[in-house]
Copies of this chain bind each other. A is one copy, B any other.
Amino acid sequence: MERQTTIKDIALALRLSTSTVSRALRDAPDVSIETRNAVKALAEELDYQPNKLALSLLKNQTNTIGVIIPNLDYVLATMVKGIDEVALEAGYTVMVCQSDESFGREILNTKRLLDSLVDGFIVSVSSETMVYEHIKKIQNKKIPLVLFDRVINNFAVPKISLDNVEGGRLATQHLIDQGYKRIAILGGPENLGVSNDRIAGCIQTLKQNKIPFDKNLVIHCDFNQDYAYVAAKELLSMNKKPDAIFAISDRLAIGAMLAIKEMGLKIPKDIGLVGFNNEPITNLLTPSISSVEMYAFEIGKATAKMFLEMLHSNEDMSDRTIIIKPKLFIRESSNRLGLSK
Interface residues of A (CB under 8 A from B): 1-2, 4, 49-54, 56-57, 60, 62, 64, 72-73, 77, 80-81, 84, 88, 93-98, 100, 105, 108-109, 112-117, 119, 141-144, 225, 254, 258, 280-281, 284-286
New A-B contacts (12) at CB < 8 Å, excluding given A57-B57, A95-B96? A1-B119, A1-B141, A1-B144, A2-B142, A4-B141, A51-B115, A53-B53, A53-B117, A72-B80, A93-B97, A94-B96, A281-B284
Whether B62 contacts A72 by the Cβ 8 Å rule is no
Least distance between A179 CB and chain B CB atoms (Å): 26
Q: Chain B: which residue is nearest A91 at the CB level?
A: B112
Q: Chain B: which residue is nearest A255 at the CB level?
A: B284
Known: A2-B142, A116-B52, A285-B285. A81 touches B88 (CB 8 A): no
- Complex CA gap A52/B57 in Å reads 9
Least distance between A198 CB and chain B CB atoms (Å): 22
So how many copies of this chain end up in the complex? 2
Whether A51 contacts B116 by the Cβ 8 Å rule is yes
Residue of B88, B113, B258 touching A105 (CB-CB under 8 A): B88
Q: Chain B: which residue is nearest A73 at the CB level?
A: B77
- Complex CA gap A50/B53 in Å reads 15
Task: Please give, as numbers and ranges, the residues of chain B lying within 8 Å of A81 by CB-CB distance.
Answer: 72, 98, 100
Can you show 21 pairs from A to B with CB atoms below 8 A apart?
A: A1-B141, A1-B143, A1-B144, A2-B142, A49-B114, A49-B116, A52-B116, A53-B56, A53-B117, A57-B57, A64-B95, A64-B117, A72-B72, A81-B98, A84-B97, A84-B98, A93-B97, A95-B96, A225-B280, A285-B286, A286-B286
Whether B117 contacts A60 by the Cβ 8 Å rule is no
Residue of B64, B72, B94, B225 touching A77 (CB-CB under 8 A): B72
By CB atoms of chain B within 10 A, which of A1, A56, A95 has the most? Answer: A1
Task: Please give, as numbers and ranges, the residues of chain B lying within 8 Å of A4 by CB-CB distance.
Answer: 116, 141
Residue of B51, B77, B97, B115 touching A49 (CB-CB under 8 A): B115
Whether A1 contacts B53 by the Cβ 8 Å rule is no
Whether A54 contacts B52 by the Cβ 8 Å rule is no
By CB atoms of chain B within 10 A, which of A4, A113, A119, A143 has the most? Answer: A4
Known: A62-B53, A116-B51, A144-B1. A108 touches B95 (CB 8 A): no
Q: Chain B: which residue is nearest A49 at the CB level?
A: B115
Q: Chain B: which residue is nearest A72 at the CB level?
A: B77
Known: A77-B77, A98-B84. A93 touches B113 (CB 8 A): yes
